[in-house]
A and B are shown apart, each in its own frame.
Chain A
Amino acid sequence: MNLSELLITFPEMSKESLRMFRKSVDGAYRNFSREYGDAIEAVFDPVLYFLVWFEKLLQSSPWPIVILVILILVYLGSRSIYLTIGSLFALLLIGYFGMWEDTMSTVSIIGVCTFMSIGLGIPIGIAMSNSDRARATITPILDVMQTMPSFVYLIPVVMLLGIGKIPGLLAVIIYAIPPIIRLTDLGIREVDKEVLEAADAFGANKRQKLFRVQLPLALPTIFAGINQTIMMALAMVVIASMIGVKGLGQPVLKAITNQYFTMGLLNGLAIVALAIIFDRVSQSFGKRLQQHRSGSRD
């Protein structure tokens, strides 16, 4: 082999060894999932029960009551009568076009994903804000979670847990949790140093500082993270439906494969309507939190 040939063709590993490499990794993972798949699935059982219960609750309760509850939450969050009326019309249209059940499925999975993201993300964000080393370790992981195409991590999840709600839930959380972690970290780090020094001067310990000063002052930023997380979870609805999550994603998927334009459009618009409601409510709630927190100087 002469030099010019060496420069043109990349010195790649042989086809045979690459095949062996893939085979051994896949085999090892398959063995692992055969061995521990059931145990790991069992860990998620409580979440699954809750998810199923919540979905049933939304679907089997009389629709006027569900709408009423949603409208009350919308009003409490946004304090805007226009948004409440808009939400009412959106929900009525969704029901009229026969998408009520799917919408409730989507709401339930988005709700559970959001709560789990908050429950996991805020403590991780706090840990990150506490130590630069934790931050240096977690940040690249979050980068991978946000940029890795979701189909790629769906493969091992499906291999491990099969098709269904839990793998979908995991896929959505992996994709949607980074903003809340990042913004919790940012919010805590951004708290005014002088205010922290004042807390120190009065003898506050770490816990007291965290719960009385840092978290309350970081709350508006954390809420921006929650808003982002909800939006990203909604964006995953269609992909999650590919692995068996019920909801508005499935008709969209059906519409793609069968070229049902109207069906796709209607369900797509239902997702958009949900997104707008979630976004406006959480944003205006976050804004209200901000009211007195913007520094002590006039």
Chain B
Amino acid sequence: MISTKIKISNLYKIFGSNSKKYIPEVRDGMSKDELLSKYNHVLGLDNINLKVEDQSIQVVMGLSGSGKSTLIRHINRLIEPTEGSVLVDDQDITKLNKSELLEFRRNRTGMVFQRFALFPHQNIIDNVKFGLSIKNIEKAESNDKAMFWIDKVGLNGFEYKFPNQLSGGMQQRVGLARALATDPDILLMDEAFSALDPLIRTDMQDQLLELQKNLKKTIMFITHDLDEALKLGDRISILNGGKLVQDGSAEDILLNPADDYVKNFVKDVNRAKVLKIKSIMNISGVQNNSDSFVKVDDNIESCLPKILESENDLNVFDDNNKFVGLISRNNVANILKN
């Protein structure tokens, strides 16, 4: 059964000295620009409703200024909401008092930052240990834990170096280890890989996916890069001007973009690489007797040679090698056309 880990309901954030006052007008449809010109307040989030599944990677995407960094900071309340609720396992984060909030941050969430935000005066092991030392965990135990995570992210031998002696990619590994060291069930990643160069970014994405296989954390991942979103996200939410414009799987977003903003986002994506056979095959049809077949969960690109070579429709099998449908060159052509 899929359970909801984080449930965000009717969340509004208005930046300004008198934010509460303008909620009714925003609720009645006042736009971000209007609010700014009329009252000089900035609309950060506009009625966000979102459920994040337990143990999934939820990507939040949008251009800069769309409110994605604001949204992620509401999960651990680094930013106070103007109105609305954020439930984590049915506990309303917005209602926690000061010490409960500190406890929540210490035990339940870990955060990774775009520009790493490591502590420059501490060496790597002390950086990784930071969350543990805040919890006053015994030195020997926190040392062991820190070493474990330093090893996990592949930074063995760098324990006593300082952040400014490490490359960007290595620094972000420290950031990741620091976030994981307290063993939180929620991982918040704010454009965590955006500051890295492309090769290292791909590397880090792979490493994150690899770690997630065993860790099974609930991860909220902010990015402005669609390829990264499609690669990592179990589900993808797209924000525009503080509004949630679409929330769905990678396929949903590619095949049924909600509006022009999303369409614009996805237009340059290589669909064949992202979409799977199952999203374009014909479910009707009879199994033919050719030996050649493709699997439902293969992506289109990897099957292209087979599909193009074959004269007839191709059989599609599921994981148990059971026939589930047919795929034709036309199916592929159609999806690549638009």
Question: Is B167's CB within 8 Å of the partner chain A?
Answer: yes
Q: Does B121 contact A (CB under 8 A)?
A: yes
Say whether B102 contacts A296, CB under 8 Å: no
The residue in chain A whose Cβ has the minimal distance to the Cβ of B103 is A203
**Residue of B76, B113, B133 touching A194 (CB-CB under 8 A):** B113
Interface string of A188-221 (1 = CB under 8 A from B): 0000101101111111110010001100110100
Q: Is the CB of A203 within 8 A of B111?
A: no
**Given known A-B contacts A200-B105, A201-B111, A202-B130, A296 and B118 have beta carbons under 8 A apart:** yes
**B164 adjacent to A298 (CB under 8 Å):** yes
Question: A203 contacts which of B102, B116, B120 (Cβ < 8 Å)?
Answer: B102
Identify which of residues 65-92 in chain B touch chain A, using a CB-to-CB cut-off of 8 Å.
Answer: 76, 78
Contact between chains at A195 and B117 (CB < 8 Å): yes
B171 to A, closest residue via Cβ: A296
On whether the beta carbons of B121 and A217 are closer than 8 Å, the reply is yes
- A295 within 8 Å of B by Cβ? yes
Closest chain A residue to B163, Cβ basis:
A296
- A297 within 8 A of partner (CB): yes
Cα(A195)–Cα(B171), bound, Å: 14
* Bound CA span A293–B101, Å: 29
Q: Which of B102, B120, B164 has the most CB of A within 10 A?
A: B120
Whether A198 touches B113, Cβ cut-off 8 Å, given contacts A203-B103, A203-B104, A294-B164, is yes
The verdict on A297 contacting B134 (CB below 8 Å), with A194-B113, A201-B105, A205-B102 known, is no
Which residue on chain A has the smallest CB distance to residue B195?
A: A297
Would you call B120 and A295 a contact (CB within 8 A)? yes
Q: Quick one: which of A194, A202, A219, A298 has the most chain B CB within 10 A?
A: A202
Task: Tell yes or no: B166 within 8 A of A by CB.
Answer: yes
When the two chains form their complex, are residues B105 and A213 in contact, meaning their CB atoms are under 8 A apart? no
**A292 on the B face (CB < 8 A):** yes
Interchain CB contact under 8 A, B168 and A195: no
B271 at the interface (CB under 8 A from A): no
Contacts A197-B78, A202-B131, A203-B104 given: A213-B119 contact, CB under 8 Å? yes
B164 touches A296 (CB 8 A): yes
Residues of B within 8 A of A203 (CB): 101-107, 131, 134-135
Whether A194 contacts B131 in the complex (CB less than 8 A), given A201-B76, A297-B168, comes out as no
The CA-CA distance from A192 to B113 in the complex, in Å, is: 13
Q: Are B103 and A198 in contact (CB under 8 A)?
A: no
Contact bitstring A207-247, B, C-beta under 8 A = 1, else 0: 01000110011010000000000000000000000000000
Check A195–B76 contact: CB distance below 8 A: no
A219, closest chain B residue (CB) = B121
Residues in A whose Cβ lies below 8 Å from that of B102: 203-205
In-complex Cβ contact of B111 among A198, A292, A296 (8 A): A198
What distance in Å separates the Cβ of B56 from its nearest Cβ neighbour in chain A?
21
- Judge whether B115 and A194 touch: CB under 8 Å: yes
The residues of A that contact B130 with a CB separation of less than 8 Å are 199, 202, 212
Among A213, A292, A293, max chain B CB count under 10 A is at A292
User: Out of A200, A201, A208, A295, which one reaches B164, CB within 8 Å?
Assistant: A295
Query: Would you mind naming 25 contact pairs between A and B with Cβ atoms under 8 Å apart?
Result: A197-B117, A198-B111, A198-B117, A199-B119, A201-B76, A201-B78, A201-B110, A202-B106, A202-B130, A202-B131, A202-B134, A203-B104, A203-B107, A203-B135, A212-B133, A213-B119, A219-B121, A292-B120, A292-B162, A292-B163, A292-B164, A296-B115, A296-B116, A297-B168, A298-B171
